[in-house]
Amino acid sequence: MTRVRPTWPDLPAVVRAAIEERLGAKVTSWVSHDGGYSPGLASVLTTDRGRAFVKTASPDQTEALRLHRREAVKAALLPETVPSPALLWSLEVPDVGPDAPAGERNWAVLAFEPVDGRAVRTDPWDLDDVDLLARLALRIGEHPAPDGDEFPDFAAKPWPQAEQLTDERPAGLSTYDPWLADHLDLIARLATPADRQAEAFKGDSLVHGDFRADNVLIVGSQDRGHGVVVDWPHAMRGAAFLDLVAMLPAVHALGGPEPSEVLDRTPLPRGTDPEAVLTWLAVVTAYFAHGSLQPPPPGIPHLRHFQRIQAEACIAWLRELMRE
């Protein structure tokens, strides 16, 4: 995640003017938050009236544009007790520069309260931070999801990747541990049936849907720090264990402890069904493996590598659970 993002001077004048009008003051300085996967500006902007964290997506950044618009709606509905920065406002800014094509082309702009926190320590991984991440994932799940269609049921989301891998048997499978290809039929039986997924994923808890270390900032002292979670476009309603289980392969893939070690220290919610965890892990394994073999999406060239290393971590964990 080495992306260098555009900064304030890189934005078109019409977009800068719209942001300053909404802020009510001229931007006097900015600090870019590089890294991550979306390609647009992500900066703390300072004016003589205060600061705001602002991120943008241009009309050409189609996937980021879609996610920013979705996040604007969901972030506005999150309960105040969710550990997330408050959404201040969002804008749609027409791209009306001299080189803009005919037709409606808007920029999406979101502004949040700034968070003065540090990144999770991952080089090397700090076990206290890993524990904080695990507790934070569970804390999100302690909140009921807001009512309404903006937070759809996780169990209703289609996850066809296991079936696709089984049917297609893409050549890239040979670059993975042979265990994956040898067990695709079994993984598909675990991951594909709609009734199995519905039973495993059902619940009324808030699910972040993309919970990872790079979406968390830690605020406060080393001994009494707490986490703040950003980037909510994928938030849904479902079982309370989903975020924690989905986070663990990413931790291990990036050099952190194995999933079983983290769960020894921070167990899943009481009453979690091991079969539900196995179903979710089979789904996630197929999702990352299938995704890693696709062409890179526009503007996010390093996504496939990250999916690859997560798939490898998922395979190792799934092998472990299936031996038990």
* Domain spans of the chain, in order of start: 8-112, 118-323
The residue among 99 and 142 whose pLDDT is bigger is 142
Helices 161-168 and 184-191 cross at an angle (nearest 10°) of 150
Percent of the chain with pLDDT over 70: 94
pTM value is: 0.91
Architecture of the CATH domain 118-323: Alpha-Beta Complex (3.90)
What is the per-residue pLDDT across 229-277, written as a single tens digit (0 to 9) for each?
999 999 999 999 999 999 999 999 999 999 999 999 999 999 999 999 9
Q: Quick check: bond before 297 cis, omega within 30?
A: no
What is the per-residue pLDDT across 80-132, written as a single tens digit (0 to 9) for each?
999 999 999 999 999 875 565 555 689 999 999 999 999 999 999 999 999 99
Residues contacting residue 114 through CB under 8 Å, at least 6 positions apart: 44, 51, 52, 53, 85
Q: Write down the pLDDT at residue 39.
A: 83
The residue among 100 and 26 whose pLDDT is bigger is 26
Domains 8-112 and 118-323 share a fold: no
Q: Which fold has domain 8-112?
A: Phosphorylase Kinase; domain 1 (3.30.200)
Q: Write down the pLDDT at residue 300.
A: 75
Q: Write down the pLDDT at residue 95.
A: 85
Task: Name the strand (E) or helix (H) holding 72.
Answer: helix 62-77
pLDDT at 133 over 80: yes
Q: Write down the pLDDT at residue 1.
A: 46
Q: Write down the pLDDT at residue 34.
A: 78
What is the per-residue pLDDT across 32-77, written as a single tens digit (0 to 9) for each?
987 666 789 999 999 999 999 999 999 998 889 999 999 999 999 9
Q: Write down the pLDDT at residue 105.
A: 87
Mean pLDDT, residues 153-165? 93
Contact (Cβ atoms closer than 8 angstroms) between residue 301 and residue 264: no
Q: Write down the pLDDT at residue 253.
A: 95
Q: Write down the pLDDT at residue 222.
A: 64
Q: Write down the pLDDT at residue 304.
A: 94
What is the per-residue pLDDT across 168-217, written as a single tens digit (0 to 9) for each?
999 999 999 999 999 999 999 999 888 889 999 999 999 999 999 999 99
Question: Letter for the amino acid at 266?
Answer: T
